[in-house]
Chain A
Amino acid sequence: MSTSNDASENESTYFIDAENAAEMARLTVQDRLLTKTMGGLFPLQIDLAHVQRILDLACGPGGWVLDVARAYPEKQVVGVDVSELMVEYANAQAKEQKLPNASFQTMDILKPLAFPDNSFDLVNARFLTGFMSKAAWPLLVRECMRILRPGGIIRLTEFEATISNSPSAEKLFALSTRAMQTTGQAFSPGNNIGTTAMLGPLLRNAGYEQVQHQAYALDSSTGTEAHLSQFQNAMTFFKLLQPFLIKLGITTTEEVDVLYRRTMEEMMSADYCAVMFLLTAWGKKPA
């Protein structure tokens, strides 16, 4: 699936073909890096004692769900994603890794969620920015309120564009942000995507209580542990993103090809420095 509206079988808004194996591999690597950057599967401040059933929205290939299921064999962990490919892969992984407490379903979270009221103790979602329109956020956060038990926790994690000293990478990041502004996915009119600034207000406006947050920085400069995987991540991401940028008319094939090649070189240079800021925010459904 992709953002294009021209394919009849295709109505997902994810800006990269969601049934793409390269994207699945990219998400698997990104997942590990994220969990590591964030120092674990949950922020330390979240009390998991009363958390039995956990849902992960847009779980991709299921890395987080599987990790949680392994770390907490007594908890039930469910992952949903719009991509059949990813959900099949995740289900196969759960079988192979013998994790009977992890399960996966195909589900489009832009539609009402196929779960009963009060059925989860914690709903987790990371990196929805790729397919969420601004208008979709309040609806989803309200759906989560419905399926959470009173006292249950919602936890959202989003990112802003990477900040680097590479001229070409900066141009590519700016193009991606502009693409999101064009499609109505960016909350900020500037160089930021702006989702991080919305997480607290979204949760508070929906009626969640005790909203808290924690910021993280992912340093992917040359010489850091994350450098190579973020390089591969970025290169896959920008390759998969190219058709979308060209279709939106904000760049040409020639321009983006040149930028792409220069970005690869600059990201591999000895003095490449880059950091990406992340924000995780969580709140409680009133008891």
Chain B
Amino acid sequence: MSTSNNTSHDDTTYFIDAENAAEMARLMVQDRLTTKAMGGLLPEQADLSAIHDILDIACGPGGWVLDVAQAYPEKQVTGIDVSKLMIEYAQAQARAQGVSNASFQVMDALKPLAFPANAFDLVNMRFAVAFMPKAGWSPLLKEALRITRPGGIIRLTEFEAPVTNSPAVTKLASMLSRSLWRAGQSFSPDGQNLGITMMLARLLREAGCVNVQQMAHIMDYSIGTEAYASNYHNVMTLYKLLQPFFIKVGVTTQEEVNQVYHQALEEMRSEDYTGVIFFLTAWGTKPV
């Protein structure tokens, strides 16, 4: 599947072909980087004793679900994703790793969720900006509230464009922000920012969550850091796979994006390259 409308089986809004193996590999790397930068799987949740059933929406290849399931063998962890490829991979991983408390299902987060009411104690979703139309947030969060038990938690994590001294990486990030804006997936008024982090608390409150809190995290992948090499490959793959999306929504041409892409790779290898990404996790409780 992809963001393009040219294939008949395809109605997802994800910004990269969701059945692409390179994207799956990239998401696995990104998942590890993110969990590390955030200092853990659920770093802001002081007490997990009341949490038994956990759902991860848009779980991709299942890295977070498998890690949570391994860290907490007494909890049941479910992952859903629109991609059959990713779900099959995640299921195979759960089997291979002997993780019996993790399970995965193909499910489109933009449609009503095939779970009964009050089925989970914690519903997690990260980086939904990649597929979520502005108008999709409210129905999905209402669904999330429906399937969460009273007193349970809904937890969202999103990011903003990287802060870097590389002009070409900045240009690519700007293409992403403007593309998401054109695709109707950004709350930024003009697309100059990714424009999702500032909305998370509001969206949770509007859906009916109480006691909404937030915590910021940062990933430093400047040259010389531990995250540098993985992030270099992540960026390399991400912006290769994003090019059709950029061109389709009309923020660039193939010639221009090729040139910027190669310049970005070069600038990322320069000895004074610096870059950080800010993440924001917002979480709220379903009223008892």
Quick check: B197 and A163 within 8 Å, CB to CB? yes
Quick check: B187 and A190 within 8 Å, CB to CB? no
CA distance A1 to B159 in the complex (A): 38
Q: Does chain B have a CB within 8 A of A279?
A: yes
Instruction: Give the contact stretch, choosing among A60-68, A90-98, A99-107, A195-203.
Output: A195-203
With contacts A167-B189, A197-B164, A204-B224 known, is A221 near B218, CB below 8 A?
no
List residues 271-287 of chain A with CB under 8 A from any CB of chain B: 271, 273-275, 277-279
Chain B 185-224 against A: per-residue CB contact (8 Å), 1 yes, 0 no? Answer: 0011110110101110110000000000011111010111
Quick check: A201 and B163 within 8 Å, CB to CB? no
Q: Does chain A have a CB within 8 A of B7?
A: no
Contacts of A197 in B (CB 8 A): 162-165, 220, 222, 274-276
Contacts of A273 in B (CB 8 A): 187, 198-199, 201-202
Q: Does chain B have a CB within 8 A of A189?
A: yes
Contacts of B198 in A (CB 8 A): 163-165, 219, 221, 273-275
CA distance A196 to B277 in the complex (A): 10
Quick check: A201 and B280 within 8 Å, CB to CB? no
CA distance A215 to B214 in the complex (A): 12
Interface secondary structure of B, over-half rule: mixed
Instruction: Give the contact stretch, choosing among B63-71, B114-122, B167-175, B235-243.
Output: B167-175
CA distance A198 to B199 in the complex (A): 27
* A167 nearest CB across to chain B (Å): 4
* A101 nearest CB across to chain B (Å): 32
Q: Does chain A have a CB within 8 A of B89?
A: no
Contacts of A165 in B (CB 8 A): 187-189, 195, 198-199
In the complex, the chain A residue whose C-beta lies closest to that of B165 is A187
Count of chain A residues near B, Cβ 8 A: 38
Count of inter-chain pairs, beta carbons less than 8 A: 120
In the complex, the chain B residue whose C-beta lies closest to that of A214 is B218
Q: Does chain B have a CB within 8 A of A113?
A: no
CA distance A217 to B44 in the complex (A): 14
Contact of B214 among A198, A213, A217 (CB under 8 A): A217
Contacts of B195 in A (CB 8 A): 163, 165
In the complex, the chain A residue whose C-beta lies closest to that of B221 is A197
Chain A 202-229 against B: per-residue CB contact (8 Å), 1 yes, 0 no? Answer: 0010000000011111010100100000
CA distance A183 to B167 in the complex (A): 17
Contacts of B272 in A (CB 8 A): 201
Contact of B174 among A191, A198, A214, A216 (CB under 8 A): A191
Most buried by B among A214, A216, A219: A219
Contacts of A200 in B (CB 8 A): 220, 222, 225, 274, 276
Q: Does chain A have a CB within 8 A of B160?
A: yes
CA distance A68 to B121 in the complex (A): 41
Q: Does chain A have a CB within 8 A of B278?
A: yes
Q: Does chain B have a CB within 8 A of A17?
A: no
CA distance A171 to B190 in the complex (A): 9
Quick check: A277 and B165 within 8 Å, CB to CB? no
CA distance A76 to B217 in the complex (A): 32
Contact of B201 among A164, A198, A219 (CB under 8 A): A219
Contacts of A167 in B (CB 8 A): 189-190
Chain B 248-288 against A: per-residue CB contact (8 Å), 1 yes, 0 no? Answer: 00000000000000000000000010111011100000000
Contacts of B192 in A (CB 8 A): 170, 174, 191
CA distance A143 to B276 in the complex (A): 25
Most buried by A among B171, B198, B199, B222: B198
CA distance A213 to B201 in the complex (A): 24
Contacts of B202 in A (CB 8 A): 221, 271, 273
Contact of B216 among A171, A188, A274, A277 (CB under 8 A): A277
Contacts of B173 in A (CB 8 A): 190
Most buried by B among A164, A191, A196, A200: A191
Contact of B280 among A174, A190, A192, A275 (CB under 8 A): A275
Contacts of A213 in B (CB 8 A): 218, 220
Contact of A279 among B189, B199, B276 (CB under 8 A): B276
With contacts A166-B189, A201-B274 known, is A188 near B197, CB below 8 A?
no
- Can you list 26 A-B pairs, Cβ within 8 angstroms, ordered by A? A160-B278, A163-B160, A163-B197, A165-B195, A167-B190, A170-B188, A171-B190, A174-B192, A188-B165, A188-B170, A190-B167, A190-B170, A190-B174, A193-B163, A197-B164, A197-B222, A204-B224, A215-B217, A215-B278, A216-B216, A217-B197, A217-B214, A221-B202, A274-B198, A279-B276, A279-B278
Residue positions of A touching B, CB distance < 8 A: 160, 163-167, 170-171, 174, 187-194, 196-198, 200-201, 204, 213-217, 219, 221, 224, 271, 273-275, 277-279
Q: A171-B190, A273-B202 are in contact. List 12 more A-B contacts (CB 8 A).
A: A167-B189, A170-B192, A188-B165, A196-B278, A197-B220, A201-B222, A201-B223, A201-B224, A219-B201, A274-B198, A277-B216, A279-B278
Residue positions of B touching A, CB distance < 8 A: 160-165, 167, 170-171, 173-174, 187-190, 192-193, 195, 197-199, 201-202, 214-218, 220, 222-225, 272, 274-276, 278-280
